A and B are shown apart, each in its own frame.
Chain A
Amino acid sequence: MTFVYDATYEGLLSAIFESYRLQTIPLRIVAEDKHQKSLFDQVVTINTDDTYSNRVKKGLEKKCGKQASNLIYRCFLSEKPGIEMLIFHFVRTAMKHEENVLQNYRDEQILQLHQINKQIGREVHRMHAFVRFQETKDGMMTSLINPDFNVIPLIGKHFVDRYPAFEWLIYDTKRRYGIHYKDSLSFITFGENQHRYLAGEVLTSAENQYQQLWKSYFRAVDIPERRNLKLHVQHVPKRYWKYLIEKSEA
């Protein structure tokens, strides 16, 4: 049996709830945009329902604490194929056992969740580091990103704490949405194909100067005697270069 849900987190939790209600273990849980119909497959379409998803979340937290619900939410954002069943397994295991199974690293699937969570953590940390704001003529600081995982929901607070006094935008060009801040934080999306690059003419002249200065600085701190490009690329993987001022051409 395949459970098909609407690709939201609440949808996934509703699916887990549904499995308890129907007393069945699904073979797969798949987001509708990834679902491919097959002839012999029995499909259950999940209704996303906040009361259901909340009950799953609360139930899990009662057993294993907030840390556990945090863990599965963050892992969900990894968008990894099969992540739904890992989360499903974890919730079932948590409910079945008296003790808190969160740290049962002997359980392979639980260990896997922790490992994915670690990757998420690394990506969040990378975004804290690699966001580059550019000042546009309308007075906003804008940054385009292209993270491996869907970490936009996890990075807002860091930047709010740091830059509360001006307006800024961080936009995920792959997933086509972002966070906008002006006194408060909100999600924002634009139409198709917008905001892949920031055209030079929308930037202030000071912006161009500081970008030049930053590039000069980056060149100046290099120590040729110690050059180690392998290490460099390990820390700053090439797929991030596109939006890094110091690594982009021109």
Chain B
Amino acid sequence: MNHRVKEKLEILADAAKYDVSCASSGSKRKNTKDGLGNATGMGICHTYTQDGRCVSLLKILLTNHCIFDCAYCVSRRSNDIKRAAFTVQEVVDLTINFYKRNYIEGLFLSSGIFKNVDYTMERLVRIAKKLREEHKFNGYIHLKAIPGASDELIHEAGLYADRLSVNLEIPSEQSLKKVAPEKDYATAYKPMNYLSEAITEYKKEKKVIKSAPKFTPGGQSTQLVIGATPENDRHILNLADSLYQQQNLKRVYYSGYIPISDDNRLPVLRQAPLRRENRLYQADWLMRFYKFKVDEIVDDNNPNLDLDIDPKLAYALRNPQFFPIDVNIADYEWILRIPGIGAKSAKKIIAARRFGKLRQEHLKKIGIIWKRAKYFLTCADRDFINLGFQPEAIRAQILHNPKSKSKPGQLNLFAPTPTLLTT
């Protein structure tokens, strides 16, 4: 491995780092006796960057040469930067050798477009194929499905990859047209819809025939850049919701726009909207796991998420009619809606209350965030402390408590990750 590879790695890892998704979870792939690696479905962060993001995959671009000129992207044609390109073999060697040393869970491969879309996509597919077939590699592979690639290539990619992603990047077509003149929604939705159908088909087949091949078992994901264009949170969450419902996406990633580009098609931001990005992840979490509907999170009167408090707390304060909730009798879904109680604590509450009524001390030990939850629940020894449920008063109390951060843990959990890049 020579000096040149090191330099390429530096350039092409740097160029790929703005692509958020680092997830290696959600796909299970068993190893074979003579093979290398597996995917456990759990996702492991092997290390963390100095900004606290999870490093799970070798995340690189095949090349940062690109014939397109998207304003938000460091690799855009008009940007004056160092360019590099890996060979197929170099990417394969890096992946295998990093994996063998337990540095990574697998490969996340994206690329700028050189020559044309199919030419580029064909190389991405060839790398995945080589890893799977020649090296019997069963670790995680995430490939970009480049909009405009032929159905055949997209299909082949699905046979080798655990996850594929088509990035919409800009949350409305109107804005997209302004900053990425060569792109449009129709071209991006085409492979998404193709994948969505193929994934469903293969799943059906696998139910009947156990030995049927896997097809993108980790599903597909996409990324939306936040803050580079004027769309509000309501628009963004509705878009995400429709992607979850209609395209069956596994994940939507939100990426606060980092003002790395001095392209004059973009606004001048002093810094990336990290807080907003984090709130969007929290809202997304509520939609996917807590059964919240979009219009319970944002509505006509509140088209943007409250930056000071998390969306679950905001919901509770907007809906005093549902509170307090009695943890000794309420359903799981409702316990989950109490601010300061997460899924784990909610499950523990349901299990523990079979042994007797729960009191404040039990709840605290179970690990709920009492300071926050106390306004919204009743338990055996304690009636609802009636602040008359004045949302404004509760909000002020929670915000003024210096120790209460909004929903501890979540910030890290989502490993807020930044913007941009690639197709």
Residues of A bordering B, CB below 8 Å: 101, 103-106, 108, 111, 125, 128-135, 141, 143, 158, 161-166, 206, 209-210, 212-214, 216-232, 234-236, 244-247
Contact = CB atoms under 8 A, between A and B. Distances in A.
Interface residues of B, number: 57
Interface in B182-224: none
Contact of A104 (B14, B38, B46, B355): B355
A60 B10 CA distance: 56
Given A162-B38, A206-B1, A221 B59 contact: yes
A213 B5 contact: yes
A220 B13 contact: yes
B35 A164 contact: yes
Given A129-B44, A210-B1, A216-B6, A223 B49 contact: yes
A209 B33 CA distance: 28
A239 to B, nearest CB: 15
Decide if the interface of chain A is mainly helix, strand, loop or mixed.
Answer: helix
A-B interface, 8 closest residue pairs, ranked by CB to CB distance from nearest = A231-B52, A226-B51, A105-B352, A220-B13, A235-B48, A103-B351, A228-B52, A221-B17
Interface string B46-60: 111111111100110
Interface stretch (B94-102, B110-118, B160-168, B392-400): B94-102
A213 B418 contact: no
Contact of A221 (B14, B45, B97): B14
A111 B366 CA distance: 8
28 contacts: A104-B355, A105-B352, A105-B362, A105-B366, A106-B358, A108-B365, A129-B45, A158-B40, A161-B31, A163-B36, A210-B101, A213-B94, A216-B6, A217-B13, A218-B49, A220-B11, A221-B53, A222-B51, A223-B18, A223-B49, A223-B258, A224-B51, A226-B274, A228-B51, A231-B48, A232-B48, A235-B412, A236-B47
A49 B283 CA distance: 56
B14 to A, nearest CB: 5
B51 A162 contact: no
Q: Which of A141, A221, A224 has the most CB of B within 10 A?
A: A221
B50 A227 contact: yes
Contacts of A247: 47
B13 A223 contact: no
Q: Which of A111, A135, A230 has the most CB of B within 10 A?
A: A111
A246 B412 CA distance: 21
A232 B58 contact: no
B96 to A, nearest CB: 10
B103 interface: yes
A23 B51 CA distance: 57
A54 to B, nearest CB: 29
Contacts of A166: 100
Given A133-B101, A221-B49, A245-B101, 10 more contacts: A105-B348, A129-B45, A129-B47, A134-B101, A217-B9, A220-B11, A226-B416, A228-B50, A228-B51, A246-B47
Contact of B352 (A104, A135, A216): A104
Given A125-B44, A221-B14, A106 B352 contact: yes
A213 B12 CA distance: 13
Nearest to A104: B355
Contacts of A143: 102
B51 A133 contact: no
Contacts of B58: 217
B341 to A, nearest CB: 14
